[in-house]
A = this chain, B = another copy of it.
Amino acid sequence: MATVSKAVNGRYGVAPETVDRVLSVVAELGYESSLIASSMRSRRTGVIGVLVADFEPFSAEILKGVGQALSASRYDLLAYSGSHGTAEGWERRSLSRLSGTLIDGAIMVTPTVVNVSTDVPLVAIDPHAGPADLPTVECDSFGGAHQATRHLIELGHSRIGFIAGRTDLRSSIARDAGYRRALVNAGLPVDPALVGSGSYRQDAVRVAALEMLSRLDRPTAIFAANDISALEIMKVAAELGLDVPQDLSIIGFDDVPEASAATPALSTVRQPMQTLGAEAARMLLSLMQGETPAATHLKLPTRLVTRGTTAPPA
């Protein structure tokens, strides 16, 4: 049994003809060692884990990027979605369940907690607010939000709403700040009635958008903290009989593939999601080799993409 293990794994100390014999039988039987059982003993598996709450458009893009960066390496990629029930702390749970055994390193996407203790290297994409001593990869949310809001102002809008995202994410807070800064810079007041909380959840966005757009002094433009929220606002606007962009301009954030597929195509702030994933993978790889990466807090640039949902106010 031990000999078979050595032969299969190419360990030193087995007679060449024994190796041949073992491998031929292995091939004949179609045997594959159980990843689980071997990981249990050896602690090294050659598998990298990506922990996500759901497979929604954003994490799907991240996954594509991680996969590309890893395709040249010898690592397999395992994506795990285990947010069931526990809205918070899913990544802690997933991590304890997988790490130490199944995966050699992990990437968390939009985690709900600041710190997690693990025995494996860990990188966070779009990290939690608060002082993370974790390596992180994110985009320039402040700059993107600022640019989006300023663009709306330059179009002539002065009543500009904002639907905020998950307030526990650093990126969401920065988008909120970027929005406010742009208003202030333009000498425009920040009306609390024009700031809704969406939490990146469609139901919450719907409620907030419905309320904001039913006001007599409704905004003529809304900036949403992500595309999913913006897409939901488009739906609400349609139901309310508001024409986009005639009666209401909308800008999202992310530029997930669904944004450009919408009708009209969504104006948004593009963040390089696949690059985010690829950079996180590269950082993780170097961490796993015991190196200290040059930068452990990457911030990638964003870019405004104007499409069909933005226009001057009527």
Interface residues of A in 61-92 (CB under 8 A from B): 61, 63-64, 66-67, 71, 74-82, 84, 92
Please name the residue on chain B nearest to A92 by beta carbon.
B30
Inter-chain CA distance A98–B78, complex, in Å, is 11
Inter-chain CA distance A57–B80, complex, in Å, is 18
Interface residues of A in 82-121 (CB under 8 A from B): 82, 84, 92-93, 96-98, 100-102
Inter-chain CA distance A75–B81, complex, in Å, is 10
B-contact bits for A25-66, CB 8 A (1 contact / 0 none): 000001111111101100000000000001111001101101
The reply to whether B55 and A67 form a contact with Cβ atoms under 8 Å apart is yes
The reply to whether A81 and B67 form a contact with Cβ atoms under 8 Å apart is yes
Which residues on the B side are within 8 Å of A2 (C-beta)? none
The reply to whether A76 and B80 form a contact with Cβ atoms under 8 Å apart is yes
Which residues on the B side are within 8 Å of A56 (C-beta)? 64, 67
A211 close to chain B: CB less than 8 A:
no
How many copies the complex holds: the figure is 2
A294 close to chain B: CB less than 8 A:
no
Task: Check A74/B84 contact, CB under 8 A, given A37-B101, A102-B35.
Answer: yes
Please name the residue on chain B nearest to A70 by beta carbon.
B81
Which residues on the B side are within 8 Å of A74 (C-beta)? 84
Task: Check A34/B97 contact, CB under 8 A, given A64-B57, A257-B261.
Answer: yes
A296 close to chain B: CB less than 8 A:
no
Inter-chain CA distance A155–B35, complex, in Å, is 54
A158 close to chain B: CB less than 8 A:
no
Which residues on the B side are within 8 Å of A54 (C-beta)? 67, 71
Please name the residue on chain B nearest to A93 by beta carbon.
B32
Shortest Cβ distance from residue A26 to the other chain B in the assembled complex, whole angstroms? 11
Task: Check A37/B40 contact, CB under 8 A, given A77-B80, A258-B257.
Answer: yes
Inter-chain CA distance A98–B32, complex, in Å, is 10
Inter-chain CA distance A56–B64, complex, in Å, is 6
A260 close to chain B: CB less than 8 A:
yes
With most chain B CB atoms within 10 A of its CB, the pick from A30, A55, A77 is A55
Inter-chain CA distance A64–B96, complex, in Å, is 25
The reply to whether B257 and A101 form a contact with Cβ atoms under 8 Å apart is no
Please name the residue on chain B nearest to A67 by beta carbon.
B55
The reply to whether A102 and B55 form a contact with Cβ atoms under 8 Å apart is no
Which residues on the B side are within 8 Å of A32 (C-beta)? 92-93, 96-97
Which residues on the B side are within 8 Å of A67 (C-beta)? 54-56, 81
The reply to whether A80 and B78 form a contact with Cβ atoms under 8 Å apart is yes
Which residues on the B side are within 8 Å of A102 (C-beta)? 35-36, 102
Which residues on the B side are within 8 Å of A257 (C-beta)? 57, 256-258, 260-261
